[in-house]
Structure 1
Amino acid sequence: MGIDHLFWAIASVALGPIIGSFIALAAQRMPLGRPVAVSRSACDHCGRTLGPLELVPIVSYLVLRGRCRTCGEPIGARHLAVELAAAGLALWAALVLSGPAVLIGSILAWQLLLLALLDAEHFWLPRVLTLPLIGSGLALAAALGVEPLFHHALGAAIGYLALSVIGFAYRRLRGRIGLGGGDAWLAAGAGAWTGWIGLPSVLVIAALSGILALLVARLAGRRVAADTPTPFGVFLALGVWLTWLYGPLGL
C-alpha cells in the first residue's frame, strides 16, 4: 500500500463519521422542513442545546454512554449507526479503489446513503439531492473527457426515461403508483455515474436485491401484501454503488 493510497484512505475514513453525522441530521430534519445546517442540535427530551464536545461523531456517544448529560434520557443509536455506516463505506471504497478515487467513491457512497435513508424511512427521494447526484456524476465524467461525458449523459437520459416509462405503464395497467418520480431521477443519477453501459447492471442488482429483501421479510414472518409500498430507491442505491465500484455485471 503506497503512501498516496494510505493518505486518501485515512482521510476518507476519518471524514466518514463527520459526514455521517450530517447525513443522519439531514435525514431527520429534511422531511420535517427544518433547516439542516442553521439550527443547533439539541436533546430531544430536555431541549438543551448540545455543546461542541457532545457532538463529536462516535466518540461523544460512547463517552456519554448513549445518554443526555443533563437529563440522563437515552439517546437513540440512529446517529451512531449512520456515522459508522459512512465510515464503513469509506473503508469499503479504500479496500477496492486507490488514490483520489477512494474519496470520489466515498462521496458517491455518502450521497447514496442519504437518499437510501430518506427513501427507507419516508419513501422520499427529493430532487434537491438527486440532481446533485446527477451533476457530480457528469462532472466526474467531464473530467475524463468528451467521450466519457457523452456516455454518462446518455446513461442519465436513458435511466430517467426507462423508469419513467415503467412507472407510467404500471400506473396504467394496475391503477396505482408503482414507482415514484424520485426513482426516475435516481436512475438518472445511476446513469450519470455508471454510464449507459452500467445501467442494466444497476437495475438487475436493484431488482434482485428487492426480491431477496421481500423473501427475507416473508421468511421472518412479516405479512407483505401485493400493494405494500417498497422503497425501491434503497435497492437502486445499492445497484449504483456495486456497479460503480466493481463494474458492470459480466464485464
Structure 2
Amino acid sequence: MSKVSRRELIGICAGAFGLVIAVALTVKGGIDPTWPFGLWLGALCLAIAVEDVRHLRVADSANGLLFVGGCAWRILQSPAAGYEALVLALLASLVCGGALLALRALHARISGRIGLGFGDVKFCAAAATWTGLAGFPFMLLLASLTALIVVGLMSVSRFGWNMQRRLPFAAFLALALLMLWLAVSPLAGSLVDGLLQHP
C-alpha cells in the first residue's frame, strides 16, 4: 500500500467515524445535530481545501463522505419525512452535478481545454445535498467571487498570477459551502438571538 493510499484510507476512516459520532449524538444523545454536523462539515471542508491547494485534486472518498453526510443531515432535519428529504437531496445532487458536468463539456468544446476538473464536478454534486437546489447557485456565486478576489489580489501582488496556472477551485467551493451552510443553519439563528438578547 502506497503512502498516498494509506493517508487517504486514514482520512476515510476518520471521516466515517466522525460522521457516525455526529449521527449517534443526534439520534441517541438527543443533541441538536447542528453542532456535531457543523464541526464535521468544517473539518471535511478544510481537508478538501488543503488537498486541492496542495495537489489540485479532490479525492473521491472525500466527495463520497460529503455526499453521505449531506444525505444524513437532510434526513435528521426531517425525521418524520426522512424518505422525502432523502429523495430531494438525491434530486439536488443529480441536477446540480449534471448541470456542472454539462457546463464542463460545453466549455471544453468551445475553448478546446478542460476548465473544470471532475473532482470539482463531483464535489458540487455532493455539496448539493447540503445546499439543496435553492442554495446551490449561491454557493457557486460565493465561490466564484472569492476566487476572483484572490486571483485579482495575487495579480497585483509581488507573487503575480500566471494565466496558465490551474486554480484550486474546489478549495473555494469548500469554503463557500461551509459559509453558506453556517449562514442558513439553525446555528446562525441561535447565535443571532443570543447577540440580540445580550447587547
TM-score interval, smaller chain: 0.7 to 0.9
Question: Which runs of 5 or more structure 1 residues have no equivalent in the other structure?
Answer: 1-29, 40-97
Q: Cα deviations across residues 154-189 of structure 1 (Å, max 9, x unaligned)? A: 221122112211211121111111110000110012
Alignment equivalent of 2:69, drawn from 119, 133, 136: 136
Q: Cα deviations across residues 98-154 of structure 1 (Å, max 9, x unaligned)? A: 944111111011111111111111001111110111111012212322333233222
Is the alpha carbon distance of 1:168 and 1:38 closer, same or farther for their aligned partners in structure 2, counting shifts above 3 Å?
closer
Q: Is contact 1:202-1:243 (8 Å) kept?
A: yes
Alignment partners' CA distance in 2, 1:136 and 1:246: 18
CA RMSD of aligned residues (A): 2.3
Equivalent residue number for residue 13 of structure 2: none
- Cα distance, 1:231 vs. partner? 0.4
Look up the equivalent residue of 1:35 and give its one-letter code: R
Alignment partners' CA distance in 2, 1:230 and 1:37: 22
Alignment partners' CA distance in 1, 2:52 and 2:120: 10
Q: Is contact 1:160-1:187 (8 Å) kept?
A: yes
Computing the radius of gyration from Cα coordinates, the structure with the larger value is: 1
SS of the residue corresponding to residue 177 of structure 1 reads: coil
Alignment partners' CA distance in 1, 2:9 and 2:69: 24
For the pair 1:211 / 2:148, whether they are aligned, the reply is yes
SS of the residue corresponding to residue 97 of structure 2 reads: helix
Q: Is contact 1:156-1:189 (8 Å) kept?
A: yes
Equivalent residue number for residue 51 of structure 2: 118
Given the two structures, how large is their TM-score scaled by the length of structure 1?
0.59
Percent identity between matched residues is 27
Equivalent residue number for residue 176 of structure 1: 113
Q: Cα deviations across residues 55-102 of structure 1 (Å, max 9, x unaligned)? A: xxxxxxxxxxxxxxxxxxxxxxxxxxxxxxxxxxxxxxxxxxx94411
Alignment partners' CA distance in 1, 2:150 and 2:95: 26
Equivalent residue number for residue 156 of structure 1: 93
Look up the equivalent residue of 1:176 and give its one-letter code: R
Equivalent residue number for residue 102 of structure 2: 165
Alignment partners' CA distance in 1, 2:137 and 2:68: 21
Structure ranking higher in helix proportion: 2
Question: Which runs of 5 or more structure 2 residues have no equivalent in the other structure?
Answer: 11-30, 186-199
Alignment equivalent of 1:195, drawn from 116, 132, 135: 132
Alignment partners' CA distance in 1, 2:149 and 2:136: 20
Count of residue pairs the alignment pairs up: 160
Equivalent residue number for residue 6 of structure 2: 35
Q: Is contact 1:159-1:190 (8 Å) kept?
A: no
